[in-house]
Amino acid sequence: MNYENIYIEEENGVATITINRPKKLNALNKRTISELHTAFKELDDDKEIKVVILTGSGEKAFVAGADISEFAHFSIEEGWQLAAEGQKLLFDFIENLSTPVIAAVNGFALGGGLELAMSSHFRIASDNAKMGLPEVSLGVIPGYGGTQRLPQLIGKGRAMEMIMTAGMIDANKALEYGLVNYVVTQEELLPLCLKIASRISNNSPVAVKYAINAINAGFKYDVNGYAAEIDAFGSCFGTNDFKEGTSAFLEKRKANFQGS
């Protein structure tokens, strides 16, 4: 596919997706959401890709929000469809992807941008990053999972305050809240993401996939996370990666995982 708003770089089993709308501070519009869905699907199907890093172009913004000009005149039904389709196509899709996704938050992550970062499996921020969900200042609420994922990540009270005040927090506050795992300089951001991605890549892709599924299960109201973990744990025993991993351990050698 010819991408207009994103570009992809691949090296040593790690793919980096960069949202490339710098004049719009990488704001999400329908085309960008569609392109991101296609890119994530293709990379997830590629057995050579072990980790995906998601970031924004330039030094100002990861994603500064949704493109408000696209939905300012929507009806109730159109607003409902915007949220439902967006969640299914991209945000829930990323959260449940078999391939780990690291958000490299390199600047403003506001509204849909923060929701995109939160749908990733974890986040690393540059020290100039600022994060927030300002939707109530526009007479609307977060619609791409923000009211659900933010409380899961930082707690109900803090999420309530952030959403109701429409305020922003800086990178260090995000670190204190547990919203991001690390804060580094802009120059160190992608190298750190690549370093962590490399460590993940050394492990069994099948086991990593099962771990993602089991962890996510614990945050779903209609799923028993412990039962999901037991099922995933048992399933690992039927994989070639389990045979290889245990054999390598017993033989005191480095495992050569095939992802099956």
In this predicted structure, the answer to whether residue 1 has a pLDDT above a threshold of 80 is no
- Order of strands across the sheet with 101-105? 6-11, 14-19, 51-56, 101-105, 122-126, 182-184
CB 22 within 8 A of CB 58: yes
In this predicted structure, the answer to whether residue 143 has a pLDDT above a threshold of 90 is yes
* C-alpha dihedral (105, 108, 114, 120), degrees to nearest 10: -10
- Options 115, 161, 187, 244, the catalytic residue: 115
In this predicted structure, the answer to whether residue 256 has a pLDDT above a threshold of 80 is yes
User: What is the Cα–Cα distance from 95 to 255, expressed in whole angstroms?
Assistant: 28
- Determine phi and psi for 12, rounding to 5 degrees: 50, 45
Q: At what angle do helices 146-154 and 156-165 cross, to 10 degrees?
A: 130
Return the pLDDT at 68.
87
Return the pLDDT at 69.
86
Mean pLDDT rounded to a whole number for the chain: 96
- Options 95, 135, 187, 229, the catalytic residue: 135
CB 109 within 8 A of CB 118: no
Place of tokens 């945000």: 91
Question: Is 95 an annotated catalytic residue?
Answer: no
CB 17 within 8 A of CB 52: yes
Tell me the pLDDT band of 259, cut-offs 50, 70 and 90: confident
pLDDT in tens, 202-248: 999 999 999 999 999 999 889 999 999 999 999 999 999 999 999 99
CB 29 within 8 A of CB 85: no
In this predicted structure, the answer to whether residue 109 has a pLDDT above a threshold of 90 is yes
pLDDT in tens, 19-52: 999 999 999 999 999 999 999 999 999 999 999 9
Q: How far is CA 17 from CA 40, 82, 93, 114, in A?
A: 9, 23, 15, 16
Structure tokens at 20: 């490339």
Q: What percentage of the chain carries pLDDT values higher than 90? A: 94
Tell me the pLDDT band of 88, cut-offs 50, 70 and 90: very high
Question: Is 78 an annotated catalytic residue?
Answer: no
Return the pLDDT at 103.
98
